């Protein structure tokens, strides 16, 4: 069976993990177009080569990032998301909606 | 007259299964606990070989959040720096660090848990900013798998190597056991291992039966709390 190294729990069988899609930058939800938001939510690049993806170790509900080579079918590196996401992201209410419920 | 679990205010999630296996109950902390299965002396030997013991009536709690470690240490708790390591406390309670921001607190096998009562009564949403309570006693059942054959049993139902050469006393393994998400804590002694196992109460009966089925080929049987207390 394939194995993956969980940054929290070490080497585990691949069946303990769930795939969570590509790591992509989130557009500003208050300023982007509907098409840009739809692209962010629904579309995958599905690139042949090195990709950066979200994975979850299901037994601990621990989300982390894996870099995979989809051509060689190899997992290159796994790491905690704090390496990429160093600050909390807060969301503000769009000005256009102020005063509306 | 023998105590029936239904006479107690609290009972294990598994009390019907324990009754079916012939358990004799005693009251502990207001809950019916299977103290033995009619062969008190034989069960001590059984515990050294391969036994399964329901500990769901014993005390436990949990905490999580970005401020978990600082808040617990402020209460005098000894907490490991690394994840997946258990720290014994002076009163017999054990604190397992599951992640940088999550800990599980287990009471001792005698039914004690002064530290747990103190933590649960001290904690409040207002006073412990960034540290949240996890009600483990209401959400997780708790079993102990004991004896020298226990690592062999785990090879049938768990993909992680739990033999002595791979797992040391006080280590924590969070993985799949018989297709359920479970927390396993290696306790006991170097000679006779005891594995504490916690998982979701919704699957308690399933896992109890699956473990009894899996341990049959190694001669494993249910043991009462008394045999576990004698062992450790």
Q: In terms of C-beta density within 10 A (0-12 exposed, 13-18 middle, 19 or more buried), how is residue A62 classed?
A: buried
| B174-200 pLDDT per residue, tens | 999 999 999 999 999 888 999 999 999
What's the gap in Å between the CA of B83 and the closest CA on chain A?
A: 7
Whether the CB of B176 is below 8 Å from some CB of chain A: the reply is: yes
Contact between chains at A58 and B83 (C-beta distance less than 8 A): no
Last residue of a domain, one of B137, B165, B190: B137
Contacts of residue A1 in chain B, CB cutoff 8 Å? Answer: 159
Q: What is the largest CA-CA distance in chain A?
A: 56
Same structural domain for residues B71 and B122? yes
- B48 and B144 in a common domain: yes
Q: How many independent structural domains does chain B possess?
A: 2
* Claim to verify: residue B205 and residue B130 sit in the same structural domain: no
Q: Domain limits at B131?
A: 60-137
Stretch B21-37: mean pLDDT: 95
Q: Is B80 helix (H, G, I), strand (E, B) or coil?
A: coil
Query: B125 to chain A, minimum CA–CA distance in Å?
Result: 21
Residues B47 and B85 in one domain: no
- Across the interface, which of B98, B99, B175 has its CB nearest the CB of A16? B175
Q: Are residues B49 and B159 in the same domain?
A: yes
ipTM over 0.85: yes
Whether residue B188 is found in the same domain as residue B110: no
Test B175 with A59 for CB contact under 8 angstroms: yes
pLDDT in tens, B109-149: 999 989 999 999 999 999 999 999 999 999 999 999 999 99
- List beta partners, residue B11: B32
Tokens of A55: 């994975």
Same domain membership, residue B78 and residue B111: yes
Q: Which of B99, B173, B176 sits opposite A62 (nearest CB)?
A: B99
* B80 CA to centre of own chain: 19
CATH number for the domain that contains residue B124:
3.30.70
Same domain, B153 and B131: no
Q: Do A60 and B182 touch (CB under 8 A)?
A: no
Tell me which of B137, B165, B192 is where a domain ends: B137
Note the pLDDT of residue B218: 96
B196 and B156, same structural domain?
Answer: yes
Question: Where does a domain end: B109, B137, B165?
Answer: B137
Contacts of B174 in chain A (CB under 8 A): 9, 57, 59-60
Q: What chain A residue is nearest to B175 in terms of C-alpha separation?
A: A59
Query: Would you say B155 and B205 are in contact if contact means Cβ atoms under 8 Å apart?
Result: no
- Do residues A54 and A20 touch, judged by C-beta distance below 8 A? yes
**Residue A83, phi then psi, degrees to nearest 5:** -65, -35
Domain match, B180 and B124 both: no
Are residues B146 and B88 both part of a single domain?
no
Residues of chain A with pLDDT under 70: 100-101
- Residues B226 and B172 reside in one and the same domain: yes
Contact B182 A59 (CB under 8 A): yes
Instruction: Report the percent of chain A where pLDDT is more than 90.
Output: 80
For position A90, what pLDDT does the model report? 84
List chain A residues with CB under 8 Å of B84: 8-9
Query: What are the structural domains, with CATH classification, of chain A?
Result: 3-97 (3.30.2270.10)
Which pLDDT score is estimated for B35?
96
Give the CATH number of the domain where residue B148 resides: 3.30.1360.120
Residue with tokens 């039966």: B209
């Amino acid at each position: 069976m394939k194995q993956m190294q969980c940054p929290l729990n070490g080497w585990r069988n691949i069946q303990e993990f769930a795939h969570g899609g590509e790591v992509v930058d989130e557009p500003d939800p208050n300023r982007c177009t509907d098409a840009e938001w739809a692209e962010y939510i629904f579309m995958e690049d599905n690139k042949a080569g090195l990709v950066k993806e979200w994975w979850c170790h299901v037994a601990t509900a621990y989300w982390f990032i894996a870099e995979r080579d989809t051509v060689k079918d190899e997992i290159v590196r796994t790491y905690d998301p704090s390496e990429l996401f160093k600050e909390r992201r807060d969301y503000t209410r769009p000005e256009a909606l102020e005063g509306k419920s | 007259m023998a105590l029936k679990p239904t006479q107690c205010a609290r009972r294990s999630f598994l009390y019907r299964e324990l009754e079916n296996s012939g358990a004799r109950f005693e009251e502990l902390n207001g809950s019916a606990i299977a103290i033995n299965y009619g062969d008190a002396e034989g069960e001590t030997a059984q515990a050294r070989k391969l036994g399964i013991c329901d500990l769901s009536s014993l005390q436990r709690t949990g905490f999580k959040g970005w401020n978990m470690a600082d808040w617990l240490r402020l209460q005098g708790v000894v907490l490991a720096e690394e994840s997946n390591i258990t720290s014994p406390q002076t009163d017999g309670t054990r604190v397992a660090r599951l992640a940088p921001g999550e800990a599980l607190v287990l009471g001792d096998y005698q039914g004690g848990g002064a530290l747990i009562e103190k933590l649960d009564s001290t904690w409040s949403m207002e006073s412990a900013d960034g540290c949240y309570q996890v009600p483990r006693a209401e959400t997780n059942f708790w079993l102990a798998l004991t004896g020298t054959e226990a690592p062999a049993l785990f090879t049938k139902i768990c993909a992680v190597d739990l033999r002595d050469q791979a797992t040391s006393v006080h280590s924590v393994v969070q993985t799949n056991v018989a297709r359920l998400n479970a927390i396993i804590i290696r306790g006991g002694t170097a000679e006779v291992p005891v594995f504490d196992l916690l998982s979701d109460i919704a699957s308690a009966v399933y896992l109890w039966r699956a473990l009894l089925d899996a341990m049959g080929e190694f001669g494993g049987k249910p043991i009462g709390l008394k045999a576990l207390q004698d062992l450790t």
